Amino acid sequence: MNELEITPPTAFTATAGAAERVTAFLRKVYGWMFVGLGITAAVAFAIASSPQTLNAIATNRGLFWGLWIVPIGLALFLQFRVHKLQPGTAALIFVIYAGAIGAWLAPLILIYTGTSIATTFVVTGGMFGALALWGTTTKRSLAGWGQFLFMGFIGVFLATLVSALWGRAGQHAGLQFVITVVGVIVFTGLAAYNAQQMKVMAMQVPVERQGSYAVVGALILYITFVNLFLMMLRILGGRRH
């Protein structure tokens, strides 16, 4: 996917035919993204309605970490093998990924109130939508943001992992606050950057491969949205007492 990291000038000077191609591709990308979010929400609420299943995930560390690690493997496999995958296979992997994330997020119901989760989701959706729209429509190339945002993403990922393994969040409130602030900055930037990169992908990917690549594009945006939601939930979420 490295060939998609640099935004060429042609991405901003598309002809009418190219514009139709980009529009069709983006429609597929965002369509799959919404499908993924819908599956995640459905699985999370389904598990939340089953106290036994919810408790099993929340108390079984092996299962909890498995639901976190397996999706990472699926996401990497999908991105690195997309050039060989059929659209149906790519879609199936994405559906499984979204379902696993839904199961992993279900224990949030035990931590935050339903109202605060819903409110944070709406706020995150508004932020993401506005940033994605700007990233898609701006004539300014955001390619220069790529390396900085990628490094920020890796940093937030590793810091979150270390914090989770280190101990309870309450014992490291200062570290959690720094991770949250940096995370919000990184993922708001990625929302705009990745949205613009979808236009680049639309222009560079062969038409016959766009079905599979649209799923990968949806995965990239989905990951950005979910991470931004989790960071915002730390700020806006009302915890259960």
Asked if residue 48 belongs to a domain, the reply is yes
Distance separating alpha carbons of residues 64 and 206, to the nearest angstrom? 39
pLDDT recorded at residue 227? 95
pLDDT per residue as tens digits for the range 147-204: 899 999 999 988 887 776 665 544 567 778 888 999 999 999 999 999 999 999 998 9
* Domain ranges, residue 144: 15-236
Q: What b/e readout covers 165-182, taking b as 16+ CB neighbours within 10 angstroms?
A: eeeeeeeeeeebeebbee
Asked if residue 5 belongs to a domain, the reply is no
Work out how many domains the chain is built from and give that number. 1
Helix 210-236 vs helix 16-48: angle between axes, to the nearest 10 degrees? Answer: 50
Provide the token pair at 209: 């491969």
Asked if residue 4 belongs to a domain, the reply is no
Secondary structure class of 168 (helix, strand, coil): coil
Choose among 114, 116, 111, 117: nearest CA to 240: 111
Torsion of CA 156, 120, 133, 202, to 10 degrees: 60
Distance separating alpha carbons of residues 206 and 215, to the nearest angstrom? 14
Asked if residue 3 belongs to a domain, the reply is no
DSSP 5: S
pLDDT recorded at residue 240? 80
Q: Is the dihedral of CA 182, 194, 228, 98 positive or negative?
A: negative
pLDDT recorded at residue 201? 93
